[in-house]
Structure 1
Amino acid sequence: MTELGGHCDSRFAALQDALKRNIDSGADLGASIAVTLDGEPVVDMWGGWSDAGRTTEWGRDTITSVFSCTKTVTALAALVLVDRGLLDVYAPVARYWPEFAARGKERVEVRHLLSHTSGVPGWDQPISSEDLYDVEESTKRLAAQAPWWEPGTASGYHAQSYGHLIGELIRRIDGRMLGRFVAEEITGPLGADFHIGLNPSEFGRVSDVVPPPSPIDRTASDTDSVSFRALNGPTPDATDSWSREFRTSENGAGSGQGNARSLARIHSVVACGGEVDGVRLLSPDTTALIFEEQSNGVDLVLEKQIRFGIGYGLPTPVSVPFVPEGRICFWGGWGGSEIVIDTERRMTMSYVMNRMGSALMGSSRTAQYVSAAFDALE
């Protein structure tokens, strides 16, 4: 049986056994799982392989692409500015970014960007992955286009545009690009090994993801639908994450590189009311904004029911049954990575892996691990 690195509190033995079984069976290639309680790491374990050829073990400091888990760190960065009184979630985006008011977006509020209800979930065609790496120019394109639906009336997951939109707000207010802001204001003070815009000197410890067994199937979709346009503009390709351009890009929607420990550490701040180990990023009032429901219905892009608060998803048992109800927020990355934050238990749980599942909203392994972590505390 697989030997795992790190440590695991005895309460979480079932979680540890599940990770061992999945690595032994090959369901997981390499992975890390972390749980914090009151800001303290009670689970920090890893195992398996960092490469498909099984030549290099997944180690303590292995990191990989977490895709849309990046959005949770981007949202936290915006909330830091809210807490400092520099950003108002109920103000028009155009107050901070005047060009964004173009073509009917003058009434789009900051909270609409953070909750995927702005009507700008992607780019008008044509657009390529290479275009997205030029953050300045591709952000200008978002500002210039019309919304795809009446802003604020529905959610449509901002799968690829979220980081450009929130990152530009941060730049307009603070002057720093998103990656630098996160490094200096969040990950640096917390000692969290998470990067939006990875230095090439760190590439040697990055595990390339193994693409999902089947691509996202959009063949049955209406090509004029919001879902098709958002998820095919550009069409995601997991192998893009192997490239230098992807890893170094400051794309707050999906280019973040990290592991379970770093995601759990960052979000232990949220779980603990805004402060952990003397590092305060949010007040309780700002933390409470996360749980103000902004939408609750069938998402126009995901085509599943989902509840969004300000910056995070909220429990939606019909679509994400493994996330329990309560004062909990969460989000996941393409292929299965996940971060779940429980402010009542003052708990975070994170899973980061390199073998991707096919679904956008977690995998069977994600569900297994999250359920095991919460079961341990019942």
Structure 2
Amino acid sequence: MDGDWDGLRADVRQMIDELIVSGRESGVQVAAYLDGVPILTVQAGVADRATGRELGADTPIWSASTGKVLTSTVVHVLAERGELDYDLRIADVWPEFARHGKDQVTLRHALTHTAGVPALPADVTPQDFTDWDRMCAILADAAPIAPPGEVKAYHAWTFGWLVGEVVRRVTGRRISQVLAEDVAGPLGVADELYLGVPAAELGRLARVEDRNMAALFDYASANLPNFDRVAPPGVRPGAQIGSRADVLAADVPATGTMTARAAARMLAALIGEVEGVRLISPTRMREAATLDGPPGPEWVFGQETTWGLGYAVDDDGSFGAAGSGGSLAYAYPELGLTIAATKTLLGAGDGDPMEDLRVLIRDRVTAKR
């Protein structure tokens, strides 16, 4: 790695070590690429507190909604090849989805969280999540909360089956297979980027645990009237889901399992070239990372929200996603920079140390540009 970034690496290492020593974190990975080259790969702590197994740079961690970056990237790679169109009506390839007036919902609506089907049945279970056909049948039979395009509503879980079933119907392959073969494989990280994790690889994963995320979910349930509709009590996106081998092995492509260095590498190949691999053209990258409509209030959390085609778009020029509990993966096209962070203790409500690390890295790179 470039010695010009030794100081940044030392500062990131110190921040992570302090978080672990204080008990705030247990295992953390942080990685960054600049102009297609890794400038930072730092990890510390343990992958499993029960056994003391060391966390390596190659240890995948379930990273909640940061997985939406993987799922969205699959779509753009397929679109680049002409296999998918963002304005494809979902019912044209998935006829059952047309029920209850959903015949005009497009893939674009799904990517921008305006498809109108963010809710799940109140009694849905983790076991249901392991049954792809059952979850798709639930979505096909769902009545929308609004016509497509009218309401921004975070499709916390349903995003994955909406997008993933379109991919399956069009390509004949599971979305986890497309990710492995068409995205992670060419980048040499097929063993570090997963939607559904192969059963033989489950023993390599870090074990996520709750720090205080469950308490935040309880607060959201009590104070946000639509929260339980998108994240019913049995399937809240925390350690109760992310530590289950059966769910990890299933395709649940609203979430993903990854290393920080692989996520940063994938994003680097979206905005530029990495060792001869560029996943999509500059024109498509700009389209994917451009706001799809003005910011507006979001149905679940009530905040002003901005999305591109599957990615959150921030006002600092970045696009990507962050997951419940603290993981993140973002690209800064104008800087040629990508940053990813994963962690094993899922927490919230008392600061966001991974976001602090993202800001530190971004600001250091900006200062050198």
Does TM, normalized by the shorter one, top 0.5? Answer: yes
Structure 2 residue matching 1:172: 3-state secondary structure: helix
1:126 maps to which residue? 123
Establish whether residue 144 from structure 1 lines up as the match of residue 132 from structure 2.
no
Partner of 1:228: 228
SS in 1 for 2:17: helix
The one-character-per-residue Cα deviations of 1:109-145 (angstroms, maximum 9, x if unpaired) are 2111011111111323432221121011211210121
Matched residue, 1:80: 77
Structure 2 distance, partners of 1:160, 1:212, is 22
Q: Secondary structure at the match of 1:376?
A: helix
- Partner of 1:197, secondary structure, is coil
SS at structure 1 position matched to 2:186: helix
Q: Give, in whole Å, the separation in 1 of the partners of 2:62 and 2:26.
A: 14
**Cα displacement (A) at 1:47:** 0.8
**Distance across 2 between alignment mates of 1:72 and 1:363:** 23
Cα distance, 1:336 vs. partner?
0.2
Q: Which residue of 2 aligns with 1:344?
A: 334
Match in the other structure for 1:333: 323
CA distance in 2, matches of 1:280, 1:368: 29
Matched with 2:274 is 276
Of all paired residues, the percent bearing the same amino acid is: 29
The aligned counterpart of 1:257 is 257
- Size of the aligned set, in residue pairs, is 356
TM-score after normalising by structure 2: 0.91
**Which residue of structure 2 lines up, in the alignment, with residue 183 of structure 1?**
180
Rounded to whole Å, the distance in 1 between the matches of 2:244 and 2:228 is 25
Q: CA deviation at 1:14?
A: 2.7
- Mapped to 2, the partners of 1:375 and 1:94 lie a distance apart of 45
Structure 1 residue aligned with 2:244: 243
Please name the residue that 1:308 is paired with. 307
* Partner residue, 2:289: 291
Residue type matched to 1:358 in 2?
A
**In the alignment, residue 96 of structure 1 is paired with which amino acid?**
V
Moved more, 341-350 or 301-310: 301-310
Matched, 1:206 2:205: yes
Pairs within 5 Å for 1:103-114: 103-114=100-111
Q: Work out the CA distance in 2 between the residues paired with 1:207 and 1:297.
A: 37
Structure 2 counterpart of 1:319: none
Shift of 1:342: 0.6
CA contact (8 A) 1:190 1:279 kept: yes
Work out which of the residue numbers 6, 13, 16 in structure 2 matches 1:10.
6
Question: Which residue is 1:67 aligned to?
Answer: 64
C-alpha separation in 1, matches of 2:276 and 2:136: 36
* Contact 1:196–1:252 (Cα < 8 Å) also in 2: yes
Which digits, 9 at most, give the CA deviation of each residue in 1:60-90, with x for residues without a partner? 3222111111111000101111111121112
Partners in 2 of 1:17 and 1:372 — Cα distance? Answer: 12
CA displacement at 1:363 relative to structure 2: 5.1
Alpha-carbon distance, 1:253 to partner: 0.6
Q: How far apart, in 2, do the equivalents of 1:27 and 1:202 lie?
A: 28
Deviation, structure 1 residue 298: 2.0
Q: Which residue of 2 aligns with 1:372?
A: 360
Between Structure 1 and Structure 2, which shows a larger proportion of helix residues?
2
Moved more, 104-113 or 52-61: 52-61
The letter of the residue matching 1:112 is H
CA distance in 2, matches of 1:246, 1:105: 28
Instruction: From the superposition, tell whether residues 219 and 106 of structure 1 become closer, same or farther in structure 2 (CA, over 3 Å).
Output: closer
Q: C-alpha offsets along residues 191-247 of structure 1, whole Å, 9 cap, x if unaligned? A: 12111221222222211111132511234336xx43331122644151232222111
Per the TM alignment, residue 26 of structure 1 is displaced from its structure 2 partner at its CA by 1.9
Which deviations, in whole Å up to 9, do the C-alpha atoms of 1:252-297 show, x marking residues without a partner?
A: 111x22110111111111221xx43222321122112213322512
Q: Which amino acid aligns with 1:336?
A: G
Of 31, 34, 38, 1:37 maps to: 34
Q: Is the 8 A contact 1:231 1:301 kept in 2?
A: no
Query: Considering only aligned residues, what root-mean-square deviation do their CA atoms show, in Å?
Result: 2.0
Contact 2:292 2:308 in 1 (8 A): yes
Change (3 A) 1:219 1:258: closer
Distance 2:171 2:4 in 1: 40
* 1:19-34 equivalences in 2 (<5 Å): 19-34=16-31
The 4+ residue runs of structure 1 with deviation greater than 4 A are none
Q: Aligned in 2, Cα 1:288/1:52: closer, same or farther, shift over 3 Å? A: same
Task: Decide whether the 8 Å contact of 2:33 with 2:339 is kept in 1.
Answer: yes
Measure the CA separation in 2 of the matches of 1:85 and 1:201: 33
Q: Can you give the 5+ residue segments of structure 2 that lack an aligned partner in the other structure? A: none
Deviates more, 1:33-42 or 1:141-150: 141-150
Q: Show CA shifts across 1:279-320 (max 9, x none).
A: 23211221122133225122112332220111100115xxxx
